[in-house]
Chain A
Amino acid sequence: MLRMAVSFFAGMDSADTNDNEFVVEFDTDPSRYRHWRVSYDGPVAHLEMCVDPDGGMKPGYELKLNSYDLGVDIELADVVRRMRFEHPEVRTVMVTSGTDNVFCAGANIHMLASSTHAWKVNFCKFTNETRCELEDADAYSRQVYLCGANGTCAGGGYELALACREIYLQDDGSSAVSLPEVPLLGVLPGTGGLTRLVDKRKIRRDRADVFSTTAEGIRGKKAVKWRLVDGIYPRSRFMEKLRARAATVAAETAEGLGDGERVGIKLGSLDPVMEGSTRTYRYVELSWDDEARTANLTIKGPSAEDVALLGEGAAALHRAGDQLWALRAFRELDDALLYLRFNLHAIGLCLVRAVGDAATILAHDEALWALRDGWLGNEVLRHMARVLRRFDLSSRSFFALGDAGTAFAGCLLELALASDRFYLLDDPDHPVQTGLSVFNEGTMPMTHGLSRVQAHLHGEPELLEALAGRRGLLDPEESDDAGLVTVLLDDIDWEDDIRVAIEERASLSPDALTGMEANLRFPGAENEHSKIFARLSAWQNWIFIRPNATGGQGALSLYGKPERPTFDWKRV
């Protein structure tokens, strides 16, 4: 049987579900979708969820009732991304179900119950990132998602609905929205469910409490009254009403959008080459050493030709399409990060290098920035920002190594600022430059809304102020003085110090590091999205390993089994 985006290492027994034996690939395209149907009608697109029960990514469970696993979500993420690049004419996306009587039953319980902790966590994080992408498309690309829940909308199904701007529920006396995770499974609706209830939809917290403990959920007028949905439509006129609403929203959204007819570009496959422990793309290379538990992630900066192309304006940008450096390199980076997360479980430390010419990168950034008002320029920038956020949210230690030949400048300086440490070489024989561009000024914000420079210098307002509006090249010492560098090393110390730092890092508890990094990377105030990820790490992931959920007698383990869970009643 052909399984989308999954291949097995030789010798794997398919009856034995061990996540570590999977290689997950994220590359897909509409011709390969098994779970979604997309159709386009001018400014309105229609996305239908029709999960193939036999299309599970791993053996051992059936994707009944439009429940989803990682494979379903990989396709959704692909849809959302392509919608922005390939269908910029779309203003509204109606999300409905193509399966009878059920919109979506949420993440597949049997998949969760049979998965390792790492798989669950990775899965939840990825689905969360996709939900955030839906909201990002609304906020920055004027692509508004409307959920038409034409059937039961439970758990992750309602969380998907919550990520849409508006939710309409079929009023048929039985279709309900619900978050049954707590009462049925002993876990949390951790794909942003709880946070979006109270923060986004501003549902009263006491009502949210009642809702989140009522397994069967709430339907009809009460769902409207409690603001769980924006409206209810009768079954016989459901699509008619939803289409009408979509048309209205599309018209409102298009208002003042003055850049003429939009024709999308195609996103082709990246086709990385795998050779032993190296994954090579055009601009990015990921290699790893299983024994040392470290990886090297290297990204090549733009060339002078890339900069020149941008100088030709929006039409040239459009012609370059997915071959544009800024798009291609960041798509590759995204894919490499996902590969690292899902397939290289034991790699704890990733050494990051940006290579190229710092001045060229800065020129590139300025030229790309000049194209930000065109739809494609905007999409390219927003995409870069999302990939950088994926970097921020990856639970690996990142050390940026600014040795000879590197150029952490502008958009690539963001990688150094996103890393847990930035080591920079100070060697007059091999001068290394960094540099600041507009992309370091908050145009590529972190999940919690701060620029990486702001987050970096959160406790040093004078340094932050000194950097305000500063653009251009910095030599190593200037970089250090500006507060951008963790340790400045000369050529004599470099090799030993770096080796020791790496070995030391690789020896620390991976769990403690994950928690520590997630804490330290996001100084300053939180927002809705950062809360979602923070609570996912802090609570959901903790609950997932507690016996009350996943022990032999836990609610998640026993769901669908003949025995009932037994709880340890002690509050922790």
Chain B
Amino acid sequence: MQSTTVDLNAKIPNNVGLADDPKLLRALEKWLPRYLEWWHDMGPTDFEDKPVFLRTAVSVSTDGWAHYDHVRMPDYRWGIFLNPREEESEIRCGDDAGKPAWHEIPGEHRNALRRIIVTQADTEPASVEQQRMLGHMAPSLYDLRNLFQVNVEEGRHLWAMVYLLHKYFGRDGRDEADELLERRSGDVDKPRILGAFNQPCDHWLSFFAFTMFTDRDGKYQLAALAQSGFDPLARTTEFMLTEEAHHLFVGETGLDRIIKRSAELEQIDPNGDIRNQGGIDFDLIQRTINYWFTYSLDLFGGEISSNAADFFAAGLKGRYREDRLDEHRALGQEYRLNVVDGGKLTERDVPLRNAMNEVLRDSYVKDCERALRKWNRTLEAAGSKTRLTLPSRRFHRHQGIYTDHFFNPEGQLITADQWEANKHRWVLTPADNDYLLSIMKPVYEPGKFANWIAAPTRGIDGQPLDFEYVKLHD
């Protein structure tokens, strides 16, 4: 397909002055057809022609960022938005904290910024790829719509990052933007950059866990980048956070609804056997939490990291809500870390800047603990005795200082043999996946929900639950 410049500008809602930026227009003109091709190959292709009740951001104003309508996904208007800022932006952390923010790329930080942006950008199309077949086993039209909403917004997040690459990184940026469309989740030869984004996400329990735990990593990464001294990056990620909130809502409430339904089935069954009732038992839910929480912890990077220190020192990436802290240099301070030394768990103090990944992970873990408390209240209200827990951050890690050791979910060091003997109790197994796939049959009738999940408390944008969120028969 060939679009003219004029078409493009009308097609791409934006507040970045696209119409007056011939260089950017030219770059996007080339990239857009490749993007659509990728979407067609790797997106939710089988539902391409179905109108979906989607939220589209058409401007950054209060009424503009959430515009609802039925649209076919390839016609979705992927826009480019920077969050408006009242005050003059500042560098918020590191050695230059308090100085004016950069509106162009500072040469000395160009490579680091490119790496940060490409790593973030790569996760966006990756999750679309991971989720591309889930539409075929959606538990309801409401959930199907939520899946597609997440998908198109991850697509838009890719746009947001590609905008930065095209606008600020010249030819290298264009090459990187192309490669973002060439890597494939789980591909042995061209995998996505980060581990969790190459894990299969082949049923809805994983989908909800992914949006709960992995998208939440995204939230914290975006929040840290929203503190960046590179103003366009900070404002882009700030806007992305508004959309990300919905993804987290989908994950957290999705799991909550499953937990609620399982508790109901536990009551219904004479032996309290949830599986007997076609539901998802709590052990399996716990294994799912263990699995996705820990893969998501890996995404924060090494516990002791010179990159993290450099990014912070240079003002490229802050802490969660850095702007609300009193002190922004983080020098001469230490962070106490649990480390394995000589086969034993001990504590070590590391310079705070080098521990910035761990500091961000702390904020994330706290947020996850909050969700766990909420789910346990659901269990309590439903009369179940079961309580779910978050495993230790040392458990089941594939990145960082705990990688080469074995821990139980409580975080105690164990042997490799103990791990082998127990891992089927602790993390998702192939048998789990088989069972889940066996119960996940699509439910496409408006207002109906699969047996293994409870209905949500309300619909989308004030619509009733039996609203036709996806028009499958037009």
Which A residues contact B (CB, under 8 angstroms)? 171-174, 183, 214-216, 222, 234-236, 559-564
Contacts and interface: CB of A to CB of B under 8 A. Distances in A.
Interface in B285-328: 306, 309-310, 313-314
23 contacts: A173-B179, A173-B182, A173-B183, A173-B191, A173-B193, A174-B193, A216-B111, A216-B115, A222-B175, A234-B189, A235-B188, A235-B189, A236-B188, A559-B306, A561-B309, A561-B354, A562-B309, A562-B313, A562-B351, A562-B352, A562-B354, A563-B313, A564-B313
Interface of B: 95, 111, 115, 175, 179, 182-183, 188-191, 193, 306, 309-310, 313-314, 330-331, 351-354
Contacts of A563: 313, 331, 353
A71 B96 CA distance: 41
Nearest to B193: A174
Of listed B111, B183, B191, B352, residue having the most chain A CB within 10 A: B111
Contacts of B313: 562-564
A560 B331 CA distance: 14
Contacts of A173: 179, 182-183, 190-191, 193
A130 B330 CA distance: 43
Contacts of A183: 111
Given A171-B189, A173-B182, 17 more contacts: A172-B191, A173-B179, A173-B183, A173-B190, A173-B191, A173-B193, A183-B111, A216-B115, A235-B189, A560-B309, A561-B351, A562-B309, A563-B313, A563-B331, A564-B95, A564-B310, A564-B313
A562 B193 contact: no
Nearest to B352: A562
A183 B188 CA distance: 32
Contacts of B353: 562-563
Contact of B189 (A172, A214, A559, A561): A172
A560 B306 contact: yes
A261 B189 CA distance: 40
Contacts of B191: 172-173, 235
Given A172-B190, A173-B183, A564 B351 contact: no
Contacts, number: 47
A542 to B, nearest CB: 24
A563 to B, nearest CB: 7
Nearest to B122: A173
A172 B198 CA distance: 13
A562 B307 CA distance: 10
Contacts of A564: 95, 310, 313-314
Contacts of B111: 183, 214-216
Contacts of B309: 560-562
B354 A560 contact: yes
A216 B110 CA distance: 11
A556 to B, nearest CB: 12
A562 B330 contact: yes
A9 to B, nearest CB: 24
Nearest to B313: A564
A559 B306 CA distance: 7
B142 to A, nearest CB: 36
B133 to A, nearest CB: 22
B77 to A, nearest CB: 29
A42 to B, nearest CB: 29
Given A216-B115, A562-B352, A564-B95, A236 B189 contact: yes
* Residue with the greatest number of chain B CB neighbours at <10 A, chosen from A214, A222, A235, A562: A562
Q: Would you list the 7 A-B pairs with minimal beta carbon distance, nearest first?
A: A562-B353, A234-B189, A562-B351, A560-B306, A236-B188, A235-B189, A173-B183
A173 B189 CA distance: 8
A235 B351 CA distance: 37
Contacts of A214: 111
B301 to A, nearest CB: 14
A560 B306 CA distance: 4
Contacts of A172: 189-191
Interface centre among A173, A235, A236, A564 (most CB of B within 10 A): A173
A559 B115 CA distance: 19
A103 to B, nearest CB: 17
Nearest to B95: A564
Nearest to A221: B175
Nearest to A170: B189
A222 B331 CA distance: 40
Centre residue among A174, A222, A235, A559 by max chain B CB count within 10 A: A174
A50 B55 CA distance: 51
A171 B190 CA distance: 8
Contacts of A236: 188-189
Contacts of B331: 562-563
A563 B329 CA distance: 10
A223 to B, nearest CB: 13
A121 B331 CA distance: 33
A561 B306 CA distance: 7
B331 to A, nearest CB: 6
| Listed residue (B115, B309, B330) with the most chain A CB atoms within 10 angstroms of its CB | B309
B303 to A, nearest CB: 13
A171 B354 CA distance: 31
A364 to B, nearest CB: 54
A183 B182 CA distance: 29
A562 B331 CA distance: 7
Max count, chain B CB within 10 A of own CB: residue among A172, A183, A559: A172
Contacts of B190: 172-173
A183 B183 CA distance: 28
Q: Which residue, of B95, B175, B190, B352, has the highest number of chain A Cβ atoms within 10 A? A: B190
Contacts of B306: 559-561
B205 to A, nearest CB: 29
Contacts of A560: 306, 309, 354
Contacts of B179: 173
Nearest to A222: B175
A563 B351 CA distance: 10
A478 to B, nearest CB: 64
